[in-house]
Amino acid sequence: MATLKPPTNTHRSSSSGPPKAPVKVDSTATIADNVVFQGPYPVTIGAGTVIHPRAKFYTYEGPIIVGDGCIISEKAVIGSQPPPSSRSSSPLPTRDGEPTPKESTTRISYFVTIGPSSTIEPGVHIHSSATIEALATIRRGVDIGSHAKVCSSCEITGRVQEWFVVWGSGPGMRRKRTRGAKPLSPAVLDAARIAQTPLPAPAPAGKVIEDARLMVLQKEREILGRMLVSVKKK
């Protein structure tokens, strides 16, 4: 409904330009005008996904599958451009004839947020509800677990387990998020024992924070969709 000129209809690239990737978009996805889709392999975009302007999809090494309810921010690059030499020699380097390198599918699952100017290299698998922050780089073939977060400007070369946060700079520091209810801090326990005061009531599980975050994301997507519709009507 909120599709801003589905890119399947726009034929701005001339025949001489780089190959236009075949794009399969759910009708409820919101895709900005000047998102770049290049390469021989197809791009699939799920329902309710929002793709911001100047995001780039390069499918020279394999298809890209984006699940439902994702947000891909502006100038994010998914996939990689072919090296300039092969690009000039043959516009379709992987399809015909020559032995193609193993095709690697880039998969982005449900409710994933990808920050501005981040880079997702081919073959990456990002599981659901993960967050990639601005300027982060996910190297080839890395698996990002669900509910994980890669903080801004981190560079990920190895697997990130689910519910982990990678923060800091470069390879970063890792921290496990809490899912269940945690025991009280030893400092609090000791204090309560010494002062002979009743222990504070147990806190809820850490999952509620993540639930809240996902709910806020959902709202954000909905509001964005509504805003775009109202803009279009005007």
Partner 1 sequence: MSRPFPYTFISCPCADTPVPDPARKRRSRESPQKQSPQKPAPRPSTSEGEKKGLAAGQQEDEDDEQTFDPRSPRSDFSLYPPEQLLYCEECHQIKCSRCITEEIVSWYCPSCLFETPSSMVRSDGNRCGRNCFNCPVCTAPLAVSTIENATGNGTQQGPWVLSCGYCLWTTLDIGIKFDKPTNIRSQLQKMTDATPPAAFDRSRQASRTLESLKHPLSSAASVEEHARDRDVDQPTPKEDPAAPPMSTDARFAALKNFYRAQIAETSNSPNDHLSSDFGFSSPGALNRLMSLYTSSSRLGGLYGGSKKAKSKPPVMREALTASEGLCIAPKNGEADIIARLASPECGWEGVASLEQRAAQSPDARFVEDLLPLPVLLRTKRAKRCKSCKHILVKPETKPQSTRFRIRLIALSYIPLPTLCPLAFSSSSSLPTMAPTPDLDSLVPLRPIHVLLTLKNHMFDPVRITLATPPVTPGRVATKVTVLSPQFEIGANSDVWDEALQGASAPLSSDSKSAGLGQRGVPEAGKVWDKGRNWTTVVLEVVPGTLPGSSAEGGDGNPETTDEDVVAVAASKKDEDVLEIPVFVHMDWDADAQLDQQNLGKSSRADDKVTRELAYWMVLGVGRIQASL
Question: Where along the sequence are the contacts to partner 1 (CB under 8 A)?
Answer: 149, 151, 164-165, 167-168, 173-178, 181-188, 190-196, 200-206, 208-209, 211-212, 215-216
- Which of 165, 91, 155 shows the shortest CA–CA distance to 120? 155
Provide, rounded to whole angstroms, the least separation between the CB of residue 234 and partner 1: 31
- The smaller minimum CB distance to partner 1, of residues 42 and 167, is found at 167
- The smaller minimum CB distance to partner 1, of residues 24 and 159, is found at 159
Provide, rounded to whole angstroms, the least separation between the CB of residue 81 and partner 1: 31
The residues, ordered by sequence, that sit 6+ positions from 177 with a Cβ below 8 Å of its Cβ are: 147, 149, 163, 164, 165, 206, 210
- The smaller minimum CB distance to partner 1, of residues 120 and 165, is found at 165
Provide, rounded to whole angstroms, the least separation between the CB of residue 69 and partner 1: 18
The single residue listed with the structure tokens 């599918």 is 105
Q: With residue 187 as reference, give the H or E element that holds it.
A: helix 186-195
- The smaller minimum CB distance to partner 1, of residues 105 and 117, is found at 117
CA distance 80 to 93: 13
Contact predicate 142/156, CB 8 Å: yes
Task: Give, in order, the Cα–Cα distances in Å from 35 to each of 7, 10, 45, 58, 67.
Answer: 8, 11, 13, 11, 17
CA distance 84 to 107: 25
- The smaller minimum CB distance to partner 1, of residues 54 and 179, is found at 179
Give the torsion through C-alpha atoms of 81, 85, 87, 89, to 10 deg.
-170
CA distance 16 to 20: 11
Provide, rounded to whole angstroms, the least separation between the CB of residue 179 and partner 1: 10
Structure token pair of residue 190: 């000791």
- The smaller minimum CB distance to partner 1, of residues 2 and 144, is found at 144
Provide, rounded to whole angstroms, the least separation between the CB of residue 163 and partner 1: 10
- The smaller minimum CB distance to partner 1, of residues 47 and 203, is found at 203
Provide, rounded to whole angstroms, the least separation between the CB of residue 204 and partner 1: 6
- Estimate to the nearest angstrom the gap between the alpha carbon of 42 and the chain centroid: 17
Provide, rounded to whole angstroms, the least separation between the CB of residue 118 and partner 1: 16
3-state secondary structure of 106: strand
